Chains A and B, each alone.
Chain A
Amino acid sequence: MPSQPLLDVRSLVEPDRVHRRAYSDPEIFDLEIKHIFEKTWIYAGHETQVPKPGDYWQFQIGRQPMVMVRGNGDAVHVLFNRCPHRGVQVCGSRHGSGGDALTCPYHSWRFHYDGSLESVPLESGYRDTRFDRDNPDFQMKRAARVQRYRGFVFASLDPKGPDLLEWLGDARMAFDDICDRSPVGRVEVVPNCFRVVQRSNWKFFMENQLDAVHPSVTHMSTGYAAADVERKLKRETGSQPLHYHYLSAFATSFDQWDQLETAGYPYGHTLLGGYMGLRPTDADTLEHERVLAAAYGEAKKEEILGRNIHHVLIYPSISVQSPLQQLRAIRPISHDRTMSEIWHFRLVGAPEAIYRRSLWYYNLVNSPSTMINADDLENWQRGQFGLNSNGGDWVSFHRDYGRDRDANGELHSTNGCSELPMRAQFRAWLKYLTETE
């Protein structure tokens, strides 16, 4: 039965506008943590982050400190990073190896990779007590559910709810698109994770990823600067490296962005379709195409490379840029602070040049020296300042409202600049916050 604050939540979301409290109210943030982040499927990481038994990587689900651990063989476990003895965090580094067993640094309780108890020192001292190694109270607690899709690991703290595949729905194409670009259908993580804190509500990031109006405004300075140097190189050397285009493309005109498409799936996943010139006809690309055709046949190769994806957002935790093999995960810290983790993947078996081309995007656009996100983060912070204020109550999502096509619960627009993705995300947001059984 919804309690008072939940009733309140309904008044915050209208189909074409949202109340600023959704971004500025710490109580709303608490509800989001409880009913969205600590409930639905959250991205844990990629299985290749933990290649060997005992390898672990820490991450957050909502406010919960979790650790993804490689078990024996193919198993990947997700545990609360908490010792059942007296609560100490067992894994101490951001990532590392637990050796033969995860060992608590306080009194040396030891755990199997799945969290079950391996040994405690002085076990005889527990004779005739309620200590019981088979009781979950004496094990590292596991996430209620852990599932993988094509190597990407998700965990949910809620034992109920849809399976990962059902929940992903058509948005699973993000992972198909990234993996199918490898001739063996697999990606491998590049073992470096950049982390950047955004001084803004997590939803600024989610909305911005599919906001096709912002790039030419927000990133105007970088777009022009890169285009300038790009022209100079073309003039002087006759050609210009593709990575200048990664930057100059941000200054693409509204008209061109508007030719893209958007989609909103159930559970808030959203898509911006668009290609940004990422299928050039240089020798490297043609070699990649040849490798894919050899692996899959011509027709399937065309299907793979013809997919029309700019970003796919898997609500509420990741943004996948499959044509560039990049993924950003967000971990909300408070209503006005959000951690982002930035990952790059290698297409197993694809030509090295394809990896190197995307690496430029990782270094120039996604690294902490980013010439792109510098202005995004600035604008989101200024957005947070504005929404914290009493200068107005509403956030407008009116652009192209009323023109979304609804096909069995999926929303579609044929203009990239539609604010459909934001409306679709808030439709899911409201559902999460009000369906609290």
Chain B
Amino acid sequence: MAEPTSVAAATALQTHHEVSQFLFQQSNLLDGKQWQAWIDLFADDGLYWMPPGPEYTTWDGVPSIFIEDRDLMTVRMKRVTHPNAWSQQAEWGTSHVVSNVTIDGTDAQSGDLLVRSRFHMLEVRRDDVRHFAGSYQHRLRRIDGGFRIVLQRVDMVNAQAAFEYVLQVWV
């Protein structure tokens, strides 16, 4: 005998679970270097955006660390998988932890889910360890019973720090 409130609660819980699983899967694909599968998480008009600081409200006409649609993501994927991508000869790998998943609500116009979470990524490259951490803000669209990313905004606390070497792929 489900009361309306508990129905709502169960739905919220279910959504939170699905969203969390989706975000974990997103980071698993990055750590697993499954680039094409990762790109396929994005909607056709989806964007990956890493601004230079938290105060940025748009990528339009201002600098970005990353601002990529699926075509530019494809360039990046093809680069790192090219046999002569010299920077890829150094062994490297990453490990993400994604947590603090919070559903902020639904965009009134588009119906997209607005989700925040935090991440910590450790990268080992050659013999160097680097840490990157910050927040994700996702705009998720329900398509065919699953989610697709309309926007993945990545605010790294390291964004304005000097980078020791560069970022070869997405965080």
A residues at B contact (CB < 8 Å):
94, 190, 192, 194-197, 199, 218, 220-222, 224-226, 228-229, 232-233, 244, 247, 339, 344, 352, 355-356, 359, 362-364, 367-371, 373-375, 377-379
Q: List 17 contacting pairs A-B, 8 Å CB cutoff, sorted by A.
A: A192-B53, A194-B63, A196-B162, A199-B165, A218-B86, A220-B82, A225-B75, A226-B75, A232-B71, A356-B61, A359-B63, A363-B66, A364-B72, A367-B63, A367-B64, A368-B166, A375-B85
B50 contacts partner chain A, Cβ-Cβ < 8 Å: yes
The binding surface of chain B is classed by DSSP as loop
Q: Are B84 and A368 in contact (CB under 8 A)?
A: no
Residue of A nearest to B56 (CB): A192
Across the A-B interface, the 5 shortest Cβ-Cβ residue pairs: A225-B78, A221-B82, A221-B85, A378-B87, A195-B162
With CB as the reference atom, state the residue of chain B lying closest to A236. Answer: B71
Interface centre among A192, A220, A379 (most CB of B within 10 A): A192
| Interface core residue of A344, A369, A370, A378 (most chain B CB under 10 Å) | A369
Indicate if B65 sits at the interface (CB-CB under 8 A): yes
- Please give, as numbers and ranges, the residues of chain B lying within 8 Å of A344 by CB-CB distance: 63
Query: Does A196 lie within 8 Å of B165, measured CB to CB?
Result: yes
B38 to chain A, nearest CB (A): 15
- Establish whether residues B82 and A352, one from each chain, have CB atoms under 8 Å apart when the complex forms: no
Q: Beyond A369-B50, A374-B166, is A224–B78 a contact (Cβ under 8 Å)?
A: yes
State which residues 114-163 of B face A: CB under 8 Å: 160-163
Q: CB within 8 Å of A: which of B65-90? A: 65-67, 71-72, 74-80, 82-90
Q: How far is the CB of A382 from chain B (nearest CB, A)?
A: 8
Residues of A within 8 A of B77 (CB): 225
Closest A residue by C-beta to B169: A369
Chain B residues positioned under 8 Å from A364 (CB to CB)? 72
Which residues of chain B have C-beta atoms less than 8 A from A228's C-beta? Answer: 75, 78
Q: Considering the chains assembled together, what is the distance between the CA atoms of A339 and B163 in angstroms?
A: 9
CA distance A226 to B74 in the complex (A): 9
In the complex, number of A-B residue pairs with CB atoms less than 8 Å apart: 108
Interface centre among A218, A247, A352, A371 (most CB of B within 10 A): A371
Residues of A within 8 A of B87 (CB): 374-375, 377-378
Does more than half of chain A's interface fall in helix, strand or loop, or is it mixed?
helix
- Cβ of B52: which chain A residues have Cβ within 8 Å of it? 192, 194
| Chain B residues, Cβ within 8 Å of A373 | 166
User: With A192-B52, A196-B163, A375-B87 known to touch, is A229 a contact of B65 (CB < 8 Å)?
Assistant: no
Interfacial chain A residues near B64, Cβ < 8 Å: 363, 367
The interface residues of chain B lying within 8 Å CB-to-CB of A377 are: 87, 165-166
* Interface residue B1 (Cβ < 8 Å from any Cβ of A): no
- The answer, among A190, A197, A220, A371, for a CB contact under 8 Å with B164, is A197
Contact between A222 and B79, CB atoms less than 8 A apart: yes
Q: How far is A373 from B82 in the complex, measured between Cα atoms in Å?
A: 16
Query: How far apart are B51's CB and chain A's nearest CB, in angstroms?
Result: 10
Given contacts A197-B165, A199-B165, A379-B86, contact A359 B61 (CB under 8 A): yes
Q: Which of A220, A339, A371 contacts B75 (CB 8 A)?
A: A371
Given contacts A196-B162, A224-B82, A375-B86, contact A229 B63 (CB under 8 A): no
Q: Which residue of A lies closest to B168 (CB)?
A: A374
Specify which chain A residues have a CB less than 8 angstroms from the CB of B65 in the assembled complex: 194, 363, 367-369
- B-chain residues with CB within 8 Å of residue A371 when the two chains form the complex: 75-76, 79
**Cβ-defined contact, A221 with B79, below 8 A:** yes
- A368 surroundings in chain B (CB, below 8 A): 65, 163, 166-167
Query: How far is it, in angstroms, between the C-alpha of A350 and the C-alpha of B160 when the chains are bound?
Result: 29
